[in-house]
Amino acid sequence: MTQTPQPYRPPSDSEIPARYRRPRRQVSWIGAIIGLVLGIGGGLFFAWYVSPIPEFDNEPWQLTADAKADFVVAIMLRYSQDGDVGRAVQSLIDLRLSGDPIQTVADMACSLASTGYANNVSGVRAIRAMMSFYQPQGRTGCADSLIPADNVAATDVIEITVPTNTPTLAPPATKTPTPLRPAGGSPTPALVIVPTSAPQSDFIYVNATTFCDANASGMIEVYVYAVNGATGIPGQAIRVRWDGGESIFFTGLKPERGAAYADFQMEADRSYIVDMPGRADPLPQPLVAVPCTTPEGGRAVISYRVTFREA
Amino acid sequence: MVRFLLSLGVALLIGIGIGLYVGWVIAPVEYVDSPASALAQRYKDEYAVMIAAAYAQDRDLTGAIERLRVLGVENVPQYIQEVTERYITNSSSLDEIRTLVLLAEGMGRLTPVMEPYRQVTLPTQGS
């Protein structure tokens, strides 16, 4: 008995299980989620631990304790110059100091005053600046007792006044007999000559400007004018003083530059005080012979142009 | 299985990209206990201005240089010259420019562009 082969007949929809009848998805969501989690984790690990961004563009709060102390000192020095409490406090807040920022300044001052930081004038000045900040705010620290609380800024020069009340021996008696005063005469009062300084107001200092010229490097050019501000006055003594010396020169000795003109050649890196001895007060600031760059790009020593005018 | 591996690989790449972006841009590592040399330029400049302000008051050039050394710059006068010229170029606060120019001058770094900002005090008559 033989079976005749049945022709193939595709199964009908009802014969196929439902799970095989759904359209096939292109994405395996389980694989995608696992891949995403692993990828993000790996990326973060790499970015944070293996190859973090280099350390730059930091903010002050990220500094080390020592660097923060330097920053606090700078803030206090600025405060001592501008007296702006609000600005100083804001800068301290930006540093994210722990606790009360003002008390922290007091503690830092205490710490600095206890170390070699206070061994030089600059350090003492910084600590005083800190004290001048926190003391008015009612804070205290050990720096108050370690650093003298005077308001006088420390200076490099200590002036010692030699006491003058040391008893001196009486002068020996003179061998020259003094003539007897005529009887009945009144004693002549001793003539005391009190030296007076010459008036300083014959001339006034008008201004000082600077210029940088390779052909006139390090010159102090002085002009002395009459009261009208235009007529030069020759023969006026100008004095320039520096550490260890002085020079006096006169206006009008270079007629080609005018009757008002006189000049002096400075040495580089020296400071000079200029005045008209007995006629005008010294300039309020010393003139410093610092290097400068000319408009052409060359190097020279800076020059000054100082003007005096008759009062 | 091929579909699973393909999805896993593509998602892995996307995840790595997201992780790197977050780790480098959105939430990068924040350093603490950093040296002053790692400060952002604006804070370095601010520090220099503060030291210049102190110098304007006490003229303590040595102290100013010592304090500026913590910024880790190799040439302090050169750095002050650069900061000063940058402040002038950016038209920053006039007071800050003047204090910087004063410090630059003290360090021998006065340049022509700084000249207009030099402070030459004029005394009043009779003073």
Domain membership flag for residue B124: no
Q: Which residues of B touch A48 (CB under 8 A)?
A: 23, 29
Q: Residue A81 corresponds to which tokens in the numbers above?
A: 């110059």
CA distances (Å), origin A24, targets A19, A35, B1, B4: 10, 21, 13, 13
Average pLDDT over residues A98-107: 86
User: Does one domain contain both B26 and B1?
Assistant: yes
Pick the CATH number of A203-310 from 2.40.10, 3.40.30, 2.50.20, 2.60.40: 2.60.40
Q: Residue A91 corresponds to which tokens in the numbers above?
A: 């800068």
CB-based contact B56 A81, cutoff 8 Å: yes
Looking up tokens 């007071």, which residue turns up? B95
Q: Say whether residue B17 is in contact with chain A using an 8 A CB cutoff.
A: yes
Domain membership flag for residue B79: yes
Residues A219 and A303: beta-carbon distance below 8 Å:
yes
Average pLDDT over residues A154-177: 49
- pLDDT tens per residue across span A197-218: 444 568 888 888 888 888 889 9
Average pLDDT, chain A: 78
- pLDDT tens per residue across span B30-41: 878 888 888 899
Domain membership flag for residue B67: yes
Of A136-145, A159-168, B106-115, minimum mean pLDDT range: A159-168
CB-based contact B57 A80, cutoff 8 Å: yes
User: Does one domain contain both B13 and B51?
Assistant: no
Between residues A297 and A189, the one the model is more confident about = A297
Q: Which of A122, A207, A269 sits opposite B120 (nearest CB)?
A: A207
CA A124 to the chain's CA centroid: 16
SS3 assignment, position A8: coil
| Maximum CA extent, chain B | 99
- pLDDT tens per residue across span A240-251: 888 778 888 888
Helix axes of B76-89 and B94-106: crossing angle, nearest 10 degrees = 150
Distance (Å, rounded) from C-alpha A218 to C-alpha A15? 109
Tell me phi and psi for residue A238, to 5 degrees.
-115, 135
User: Does one domain contain both B24 and B83?
Assistant: no
Task: DSSP for chain B, please give it.
Answer: -HHHHHHHHHHHHHHHHHHHHIIIIIS-----SB-GGGB-HHHHHHHHHHHHHHHHHH--HHHHHHHHGGG--S-HHHHHHHHHHHHHHTT--HHHHHHHHHHHHHTT-B-GGGGGG---PPPPTT-
Window 76-95 of B, Cβ < 8 Å to A: none
Average pLDDT over residues A61-86: 88
Residue B110 Cα, gap to closest chain A Cα (Å): 5
CB-based contact A206 B122, cutoff 8 Å: yes
Distance (Å, rounded) from C-alpha B55 to C-alpha B69? 15
| Radius of gyration for the alpha carbons in chain B, expressed in angstroms and rounded | 24
CA angle A95, A98, A100 (to 5 degrees): 95
On the question of pLDDT at B11 being above 80, the answer is: yes
Distance (Å, rounded) from C-alpha A217 to C-alpha A269? 12
* Residue among A30, A58, A203 with most chain B CBs within 10 A, to mutate: A58
Residues A50 and B19: beta-carbon distance below 8 Å:
no
User: Does one domain contain both B52 and B86?
Assistant: yes
* Residue among B25, B57, B65, B93 with most chain A CBs within 10 A, to mutate: B57
Looking up tokens 């009208």, which residue turns up? A228
Q: Say whether residue B124 is in contact with chain A using an 8 A CB cutoff.
A: no
pLDDT (0 to 100) of residue B44? 93
Domain membership flag for residue B17: yes
Q: Which of B9, B34, B112 sits opposite A212 (nearest CB)?
A: B112
pLDDT (0 to 100) of residue B122? 52
CB-based contact A27 B63, cutoff 8 Å: no
- pLDDT tens per residue across span A1-37: 566 777 787 777 777 777 776 666 778 889 899 999 9
Pairing of strands A219-225, A303-310: parallel
Domain membership flag for residue B18: yes
Quote the domain boundaries for residue B14: 1-30
CB-based contacts of A57, cutoff 8 Å, min separation 6: B38, B39, B40, B41
pLDDT (0 to 100) of residue B48? 94
pLDDT (0 to 100) of residue A36? 94
Average pLDDT, chain B: 87
Signed CA dihedral, A25, A31, A34, A38: sign only: negative
Q: Residue A49 corresponds to which tokens in the numbers above?
A: 């631990």
Q: Which residues of B touch A45 (CB under 8 A)?
A: 19
**Nearest residue of B to residue A291, measured between CA atoms:** B108
Q: Residue B34 corresponds to which tokens in the numbers above?
A: 């950093």
Looking up tokens 């620290």, which residue turns up? A141
Please return the burial class of A172, using the count of CB atoms within 10 Å of its CB with bins 0-12, 13-18 and 19+.
exposed
Distance (Å, rounded) from C-alpha B3 to C-alpha A210? 81
User: Does one domain contain both B51 and B111?
Assistant: yes
User: Does one domain contain both B60 and B26?
Assistant: no
- pLDDT tens per residue across span A45-63: 999 999 888 777 788 888 8
**Nearest residue of B to residue A302, measured between CA atoms:** B110
Band (pLDDT 50/70/90 cuts) for residue A153 is very low
User: Does one domain contain both B26 and B70?
Assistant: no
CB-based contact A39 B19, cutoff 8 Å: yes
**Nearest residue of B to residue A209, measured between CA atoms:** B120
**Nearest residue of B to residue A60, measured between CA atoms:** B39
Domain membership flag for residue B125: no
Q: Residue A233 corresponds to which tokens in the numbers above?
A: 């006055």
CB-based contacts of A309, cutoff 8 Å, min separation 6: A203, A204, A206, A224, A225, A226, A227, A229
Domain membership flag for residue B122: no
pLDDT (0 to 100) of residue A195? 41
pLDDT (0 to 100) of residue A162? 42
Q: Residue B22 corresponds to which tokens in the numbers above?
A: 């977050």
- Count Cβ atoms below 10 Å from residue A20 Cβ, excluding itself: 7
Q: Name the DSSP letter for residue A303.
A: E
Q: Say whether residue B3 is in contact with chain A using an 8 A CB cutoff.
A: yes
Q: Say whether residue B1 is in contact with chain A using an 8 A CB cutoff.
A: no
**Nearest residue of A to residue B56, measured between CA atoms:** A81
User: Does one domain contain both B48 and B104?
Assistant: yes
CB-based contact A290 B58, cutoff 8 Å: no
CA distances (Å), origin A10, targets A32, A184, B125: 35, 167, 118
User: Does one domain contain both B50 and B23?
Assistant: no
Domain membership flag for residue B126: no
> Which residue type occupies A49?
Y
SS3 assignment, position A248: strand
Per domain, the residue ranges of chain A are 60-146, 203-310
Q: Which residues of B touch A80 (CB under 8 A)?
A: 54, 57
Distance (Å, rounded) from C-alpha A68 to C-alpha B54? 17
CB-based contact A74 B105, cutoff 8 Å: no
Residue whose C-alpha is closest to residue A76's, from A22, A10, A116, A122:
A122
Q: Which residues of B touch A155 (CB under 8 A)?
A: none
Q: Name the DSSP letter for residue A234.
A: T
Average pLDDT over residues A262-283: 85
pLDDT (0 to 100) of residue A247? 85
Residues A232 and A259: beta-carbon distance below 8 Å:
yes
Q: Which residues of A touch B32 (CB under 8 A)?
A: 62
Residues A272 and A242: beta-carbon distance below 8 Å:
yes
Helix axes of A121-134 and A101-113: crossing angle, nearest 10 degrees = 150
User: Does one domain contain both B110 and B87?
Assistant: yes
What percent of chain A stands above pLDDT 70?
Answer: 80
pTM of the model: 0.51
Number of domains, chain B: 2
pLDDT (0 to 100) of residue A235? 85
CB-based contact B50 A57, cutoff 8 Å: no
Of A124-133, A198-207, B18-27, minimum mean pLDDT range: A198-207
* Residue among A45, A210, A273 with most chain B CBs within 10 A, to mutate: A210
What percent of chain A stands above pLDDT 90?
Answer: 11
User: Does one domain contain both B22 and B43?
Assistant: no
User: Does one domain contain both B12 and B74?
Assistant: no
- pLDDT tens per residue across span B47-86: 999 999 989 888 888 889 888 998 988 889 999 999 999 9
